[in-house]
Amino acid sequence: MLSEFRNEPNIDFKQEANITALRQALESVRAQFGKTYPMVIGDEKIELNDVFPSINPACPQEVLGYFPNGTADHADMAIEAATRAFESWQHTSVESRVETVLRVSAEIRRRRFEFCALLVLEAGKSWDEADGETCEAIDFIEYYARQMLRIADSSQLLGTSPGEHLHLQYIPLGVGAIIPPWNFPAAILTGLVAASLLAGNTVVLKPAEQTPLVGFIISELFWNAGLPAGVLNFVTGPGEIVGERMVQHPKTRFVAFTGSREVGIGIYEKASKVHAGQKWLKRSILEMGGKNAVIVDETADLDMAAQGIVTGAFSFQGQKCSAGSRAIIVDSVYDQLAAKVVKLAGNIKMGSPEQSPDNYMGPVIDNEAVAKINHYLEVGTHEGNLLLGGETLQDTSKGYFFKPTIFGEVAADAKVACDEIFGPVLALTRATDFDEALHIANNTEYGLTGSLYSRDSARLERAEREFHVGNLYFNRKCTGSMVSQNPFGGFGMSGTDSKAGGPDYMLLFTQAKSITVKA
């Protein structure tokens, strides 16, 4: 019997002992820099001459490790290995799967500082962000383990039939293609893998190209926890080659993807095609991007709103799918609030996250992100008034650092107000009144998160009905969902609303079998 689920508490980086522990962990991760890592397919470790580096975005010359540039053949081998392993793994008891997978959360907890250090160095996270993510990885495992135990045998939910015994079991699907993003390379990856394995599926995991090291170290924890060979296969390489083949393989039963709208839509289309020899319709669990709005009306606490807007827009450099990258402000408080937001954002401390726990903003992830953000900084200067930042980045040799940028008086249909930039760029839009603000907020293909700052209870009630996002927050920031508290997933082009960290999530990784026995 497991204890009740509890969210993992955060580390306090104001305490000297914790600062020392993280500095030591950073050193020991650094001591491993530059190693070459294999792919792991079944019980085979596969190294290739053709490798790609994982780099430190705060210092792009530093290579954390080298990973094989896998091919479509490796994806095929991995799907075959997972298919063989499924024959027995699907029949292991739920209790034994839970026991195995919970060893991983225990180990992440024990190696907390090391995981924080990895996230600081490979993803460019601040210490607090890195710790928040490590906690979330632990939470996903602990929560999904309990949910799987809850749903495995759901016979008690059925009605009765005289003279018959009725059973309802949630059984595994088969082989899953697990394709996570780089921006939560520990938590999302761990959540997708843990949910799959707890349900009795086997998987092929392909981490994002930018963050394979975190993916490898977490996979090692799963292997060391006692998974039979082939239950978790680890392949690396370009998404459009290895990932695409994983999606298209006829023996793939489901795809669990988190990433951009563009790639997600492509996966949705490709997974829907039935290939020769395929015996099922693939299930696609897709979580994608957002262009999330924070609405502030004239009744709001403006200091609270300014804080929430700045945190939502600039924490982790704006590289969260939940980031509030547009604020829609009612005319009568627009000027006052814009000034507060600019002041707060102007005080953000930036710098290499490794150097200090006080560096709130670090680098963006890679050269591609730099090019995209540079582009939108140019576009933004034509679409709004530059209120803060705005400098493009040309010399990337010292890391991919952008200052927070704020554009004011941005039209609701401007590109910087509509496109997901995925960087520290905030657009402020003036709305005549609350009605117009709500209309603008909903005027997007996305529907992931949203916030409303207001003290008007009728408006809050209206937003509850009409603000169309998967995660709606009142009088607080739109980032920072917690496992079991704020099931996370979006509407529209933000994905299939899979609600990670929520009570229905495990159903996505299972199929229901109804068994009726004549007495």
C-alpha distances (whole Å) from 310 to each of 136, 335, 477 are: 22, 16, 9
Paired tokens of 215: 């993916």
Nearer Cβ to ligand NAD (179/441)? 179
Residue 321 annotated in active site: yes
Which residues make beta-bridge pairs with 492?
A: 446
243 binds ligand NAD (CB under 6 A): yes
Q: Is 203 in the site for ligand NAD (CB under 6 A)?
A: no
Size of the site for ligand NAD (CB under 6 A): 32
- Is the Cβ of residue 147 or residue 252 nearer to ligand NAD in the bound state? 252
Q: 211 with 122: CB under 8 angstroms?
A: yes
**478 belongs to the catalytic site:** no
Residue 286-325 contact track with ligand NAD, rule CB under 6 A, x = bound: -xxxx------------------------------x----
**Minimum distance of ligand NAD from residue 264's CB (angstroms):** 7
Phi, psi angles (nearest 5°) of residue 151: -90, -20
Q: Which of 78, 82, 145, 267 binds ligand NAD (CB under 6 A)?
A: 267
Decide: 393 and 438 in contact? Cβ < 8 Å: no
List 7, 92, 260, 278, residue binding ligand NAD (CB under 6 A): 260
Under rule CB under 6 A, residue 176 binds ligand NAD = no
Quick count: other Cβ atoms within 10 Å of Cβ 395? 6
Contact region for ligand NAD (CB under 6 A) — 34-42, 128-136, 154-162, 203-211? 203-211
Which candidate in 321, 383, 420, 478 is catalytic?
Answer: 321
| Binder among 86, 144, 170, 182 for ligand NAD (CB under 6 A) | 182
The closest alpha carbon to 231, from 101, 140, 48, belongs to 101
In 21-114 the beta strands, taken as DSSP E runs, fall at 35-36, 39-41, 44-46, 51-56, 59-68
Q: Number of C-alpha atoms within 13 angstroms, CB side, residue 402?
A: 35
Q: Which of 42, 65, 215, 259 binds ligand NAD (CB under 6 A)?
A: 259
Ranges within 425-484 binding ligand NAD (CB under 6 A): 448
Which position's Cβ is nearest ligand NAD?
Answer: 239
Query: What is the three-class DSSP state of 322?
Result: coil
Give backbone dihedrals phi and psi of 474, rounded to 5 degrees, phi first.
-110, 130
Cα(183)–Cα(208) distance, integer angstroms: 9
Tell me the torsion sign for CA atoms 42, 47, 48, 50: positive
The site for ligand NAD (CB under 6 A) is made up of: 179-184, 188, 206, 208-209, 239-240, 243-244, 247, 258-260, 263, 266-267, 287-290, 321, 420, 422, 448, 490, 494-495
Active site residues: 287, 321
